[in-house]
Structure 1
Amino acid sequence: MAKTAFLGLGVMGYPMAGHLVAQGHEVTVYNRTTAKAEKWAAEHDGAFAPTPKEAAEGCDFVMSCVGNDDDLRSVCLGPEGAFAGMKPGAVFVDHTTVSAKVTRELAAIAAEAGIGYVDAPVSGGQAGAENGVLSVMCGGSEADFAKAEPMMAAYGKIVKRLGEVGMGQTAKMCNQICIAGLVQGLSEALLLAENSGLDGEALVDVISGGAAGSWQMVNRHKTMLAGEYEHGFAVDWMRKDLAICLEAGEETGTPLPVTALVDQFYKDVQTMGGGRWDTSSLMARLKAFM
């Protein structure tokens, strides 16, 4: 059993923190909306704290899953931030999807205080978090990763170290680039089938087991064909991630033409009022532009 804090109880963090309790760890949570932290504590027989610092005090591990670079800085830094409450030798594990730049910045600050740091963004969505089968992409020292890996196994089906601090975030950007291209291609294929009089379900039955198959095809084709998008990973969050991808592309001199194009397609979806729709709503954009 490890004394642990979990910062951020969104659709991902809420169940992830619960899996830690289920594994026997002593968990204290923090959330900007205190009512959600109180609800979690009541459901899981855990504790909640009014600040990240108080949640982190005396903990062996502090996990975070917040919104963006600024949110992460706010829970880590300052007199009420988690770093102010963490003891030397403890490890901070960040599951937020943020830039590698802020990751390295915060890891350097943590190191000065004797705190380990692992960047560990996740893939698998809300369902993956609830079922404890996330893919966790990690960056950090071998020693820090070795300490944190058993903790992350509580909600990770795959937990893999990919290099030093920042490499986890870089891997997550590669993941998002792949998803963006896949969803656009799937949207175009399903719409062509529909407009040609070909049964979309029958099409997917045939091609999903071959080279064209993907998680997106298997798990999203039914809702795409039905025009249902009120679920899943929001377009607003995807655009945040793609902005990080494009920034990384500029920094490394890597051309990302398809990513840039699909990012603009998601901007169109936002203009349509679909900022909270699932990323598969690219099909709705295609239909709107017919």
Structure 2
Amino acid sequence: MAKVAFLGLGVMGYPMAGHLAAKGHDVTVYNRTVAKAEEWVSAHGGRAAATPREAAAGQEIVFACVGNDDDLRDVTIGPAGAFHAMEKGATFVDHTTASAEVARELAAAADIAGFGFIDAPVSGGQAGAENGVLTVMCGGEEKVYAAVEPAIMSFARSCRLLGASGSGQLAKMVNQVCIAGLVQGLSEAIAFGQKAGLDMEAVLDVISKGAAGSWQMENRGKTMVEDKFDFGFAVDWMRKDLDIVLAEARRNGASMPVTALVDQFYAEVQKMGGGRWDTSSLIARLKRD
């Protein structure tokens, strides 16, 4: 068991840190909202630190799951950032969905300071975090990754090193592109079927067993038919992720016509007041007329 810190106790980080504690790791937590950290300690034990720097002091592994590139820089290289207290030989594992650029930047800073860095964004949503079955996509050095993989598996069912620093973030971008296209296709299919007078719950039950089947169909199809969007991964978060994807595509020259279009559809959902709706709410814009 390791001495670890976890920075960021949002809908993902809170249960992820909880799984680390349940597996017997010695966990110190930090959260910008102090009350949330105190609540976590009351539920799981361990201790709360006042700053990322304090949380990271003396730890073997420091995990983070925050909002975006700026948040990540703040908790790592900011004035009270964890990097100022990381010891040589320790490892920083970042579960934030962020840019590949910031992953490479922080990996280089960690290397100069003598500790490891793994970019490790996750897929599986809040339910996956709560149930400890996240998929984790990693970038970094093989030896560093091997040392932290057992701890990551405290809240994951699948974890894989995919290449050098930044590769985990690039893989997460691929993941989000797939989801965006699938949800738009599923939205159009359901809206079409309803216009045609079909019992779409029955239709989805049948076609989900065939070539059209997907996680989105199995887990969101019924709620899309029922116009229920008050759970899961929010539209605001998906737009943040797609902005990262499209920025990377401009850098590497990839053509992303469908992704760019779906991003604009999500912008329309935001204008409808659906920024905090689940990403399956793409269907709402097809039904608004």
Sort the TM-score into its range (normalised by shorter chain): over 0.9
1:199 paired with 2:199, answer yes
Deviation by residue 1:25-83 (Cα, 9 ceiling, x = unmatched): 00000000000000001100121101000000000000000000000000001331000
The 5-angstrom pairing of residues 182-221 of structure 1 reads 182-221=182-221
State the AA in 2 paired with 1:44. H
% identical aligned pairs: 66
Q: List runs of 5+ in structure 1 lacking aligned partners.
A: none
Aligned mates of 1:34, 1:283 — CA distance in 2: 38
Aligned mates of 2:199, 2:48 — CA distance in 1: 51
State the AA in 2 paired with 1:123. S
3-state DSSP of counterpart to 1:233: coil
1:166 maps to 166
1:51 maps to 51
Aligned-residue offset at 1:179: 0.2
The aligned length equals 289
1:11 maps to 11
1:99 paired with 2:105, answer no
1:68 maps to 68
Aligned mates of 1:211, 1:248 — CA distance in 2: 31
Q: Which aligned segments of 4 or more residues in structure 1 are displaced greater than 4 angstroms? A: none
3-state DSSP of counterpart to 1:192: helix
State the AA in 1 paired with 2:65. C
State the AA in 2 paired with 1:3. K
Superposed CA RMSD in Å reads 0.6
State the AA in 1 paired with 2:57. E
State the AA in 2 paired with 1:203. V
Aligned-residue offset at 1:222: 1.4
Q: List runs of 5+ in structure 2 lacking aligned partners.
A: none
Aligned mates of 2:78, 2:282 — CA distance in 1: 40
Aligned mates of 1:219, 1:82 — CA distance in 2: 38
Aligned mates of 1:79, 1:260 — CA distance in 2: 36
2:279 maps to 279
1:112 paired with 2:112, answer yes
1:27 maps to 27
TM-score using structure 1 length: 0.99
Aligned mates of 1:10, 1:225 — CA distance in 2: 29
Aligned mates of 2:219, 2:187 — CA distance in 1: 13
Aligned mates of 2:162, 2:11 — CA distance in 1: 26
Aligned mates of 1:110, 1:148 — CA distance in 2: 15
State the AA in 1 paired with 2:222. K
Aligned mates of 2:79, 2:250 — CA distance in 1: 35
Aligned mates of 2:209, 2:86 — CA distance in 1: 48
3-state DSSP of counterpart to 2:243: helix
Aligned mates of 1:168, 1:279 — CA distance in 2: 22
The 5-angstrom pairing of residues 236-255 of structure 1 reads 236-255=236-255
1:123 maps to 123
2:226 maps to 226
Aligned mates of 1:233, 1:142 — CA distance in 2: 31
1:146 maps to 146
Deviation by residue 1:94-136 (Cα, 9 ceiling, x = unmatched): 0000000011011111111101000000000000000000000
State the AA in 1 paired with 2:46. G
Aligned mates of 2:279, 2:243 — CA distance in 1: 15
